[in-house]
Amino acid sequence: MASGTFSLSGHTHSYYPQWQTTSTTTDNTLYDYGVYVKQGGATVSPTGSAYFSILNIPYRKATGNTKADYAWSLGNSTGNDKRLFFRTSNADNYSSWQEVAHGEAGTAVGSATKPVYMTSSGVITACSGTLAVNISGNAATATTATKLGTANKGSATKGIYLSSGSPSEMSYSLFSTVNSGSSATNKLAYYSGNNAISVYTSTVGSHTKGMWLNAGVPTAMSGTVGSATKPAYLSSGTITVCSGTLAVNVTGNAATATTATKLGTANKGSTVKGIYLSSGSPAEMTYSLYATVNSGSSATNKLAYYSGNNAVSVYTSTVGSHIKGMWLNGGVPTVMSGTVGTAKRPVYLSSGTVTAVNWAGTSLPANNAGVNGDIFFLRL
């Protein structure tokens, strides 16, 4: 097809159908108009490939200019890389290559667990993090939820609670605001308004003036019952005036009293010495008590002993037998364990001490002759 001219919008335009293939990296020696293909090296290729095909479309305002005023290019690496790149040029100053298409057999970006994003320069890039869970249906847990299910539970005056994780209505309703109170412990609560409960801090009555509830409102007692000469009493909880008049003045101490909280003001007795009443007056006992005297089961006729430094108890131990005596060793009952005499040398009591007969032989003397003419046998 030859070159020529054509008219468009009242202007005459020239066209130059040109096609050329080159391996050079500069556009300045090529045609001023038209389309050509050239082979770029690794320094031109955005993929670093040594073979990079470029489809270039330059335009020069005047034939013979040393640089193309405008141009744009499409590029592709040879081999199995099926990506398509695009760039533009102004006065031979080319922009960076931008990927505009990606074939199905190109370089993989991201994975099923690693999503991708597009940078500000239009490059599809894999995320640095990994999506380690499958997102399907509803999450088992959530940090923050905006609603809990879709059903209506509770109301403005009836709260809910969670039963096995599901919302359920509370049994009772709340129709009033329950306020907090300063130093409210042990104080009463009251309705401070139709829909407000607060701590009751008012003082009603005193330690000498009672109060009553007037339609639920604490009210100080103000009635007059009796007089200075006419006392009152309680009748079924009601203060009632006595029928008679108190015509005497009660002064001084009463002669008798049913119950007293103390007996005089003097000190009598101590922690180890009790008191007794002598003609109604307290007097100290003669002897002191420095130990607890315990009771005993079946204690009649049994001895007592010190079961501790300050405790006396019934003695229930068995010491000795009907043929074996005992003695007191430092006050402690102890079984007799000594040996005095033999089968051929009987014993006798000498000033209470068991003593062996003082002779030698293998048999008793004739006619029972012994010490002082008598033989004493200790029968236990």
Structure confidence at residue 1 as a pLDDT band (50, 70, 90) = very low
**Could you tell me the residue ranges of all domains in the chain?**
4-102, 319-380
The pLDDT of residue 218 is above 90:
yes
Q: Which helix (H) or strand (E) holds 168?
A: strand 166-169
Q: Is the CB of residue 47 less than 8 Å from the CB of residue 81?
A: yes
How does the average pLDDT of the chain come out, rounded? 77
User: What's the confidence (pLDDT) of residue 206?
Assistant: 92
Give the whole-angstrom CA distance, residue 111 versus residue 103: 16
Backbone φ and ψ of 371, nearest 5°:
-65, 125
Calculate mean pLDDT across residues 29-34.
50
Structure tokens given for 32: 């001023």
> Residue 205: which region, alpha, beta or left (left: phi > 0; alpha: psi -120 to 50)?
left
Structure tokens given for 345: 């040398």
Q: How large is the C-alpha radius of gyration of the chain?
A: 63
The pLDDT of residue 142 is above 90:
no
The residues, ordered by sequence, that sit 6+ positions from 306 with a Cβ below 8 Å of its Cβ are 291, 312, 313
User: What's the confidence (pLDDT) of residue 9?
Assistant: 63
Range with the lowest mean pLDDT among 40-49, 290-299, 340-349? 40-49
The pLDDT of residue 247 is above 80:
no
Structure tokens given for 43: 């320094």
Angstrom distances, CA of residue 306 to CA of 74, 276, 292, 314, 332: 119, 26, 10, 9, 10
Q: Is the CB of residue 6 less than 8 Å from the CB of residue 17?
A: no
Give the whole-angstrom CA distance, residue 36 versus residue 162: 75
The pLDDT of residue 32 is above 80:
no
User: What's the confidence (pLDDT) of residue 373?
Assistant: 45
User: What's the confidence (pLDDT) of residue 169?
Assistant: 92
Give the whole-angstrom CA distance, residue 332 versus residue 324: 16
pTM metric for this prediction = 0.31
Structure confidence at residue 290 as a pLDDT band (50, 70, 90) = confident
The pLDDT of residue 174 is above 80:
yes
DSSP string, 340-364: -SBTTB-EEEETTEEEE----SSSP
Give the whole-angstrom CA distance, residue 370 versus residue 131: 121
The pLDDT of residue 38 is above 70:
no
Per-residue pLDDT tens over the stretch 46-90? 776 766 777 777 766 655 566 666 777 888 776 666 778 888 887
Helices (DSSP H) in the chain: which residue ranges? none
**Strands 332-335 vs 70-77: parallel, antiparallel or unpaired:** unpaired
The pLDDT of residue 111 is above 50:
yes
Number of Cβ within 10 Å of residue 127's Cβ equals 12
Percent of the chain residues topping a pLDDT of 70: 68
User: What's the confidence (pLDDT) of residue 29?
Assistant: 45
Give the whole-angstrom CA distance, residue 60 versus residue 274: 135
Range with the lowest mean pLDDT among 117-126, 183-192, 230-239? 117-126
Give the whole-angstrom CA distance, residue 222 versus residue 204: 11
Percent of the chain residues topping a pLDDT of 90: 9
User: What's the confidence (pLDDT) of residue 34?
Assistant: 55
User: What's the confidence (pLDDT) of residue 177?
Assistant: 92
The pLDDT of residue 285 is above 80:
yes
Give the whole-angstrom CA distance, residue 196 versus residue 94: 78
The pLDDT of residue 117 is above 60:
yes
Structure confidence at residue 215 as a pLDDT band (50, 70, 90) = very high
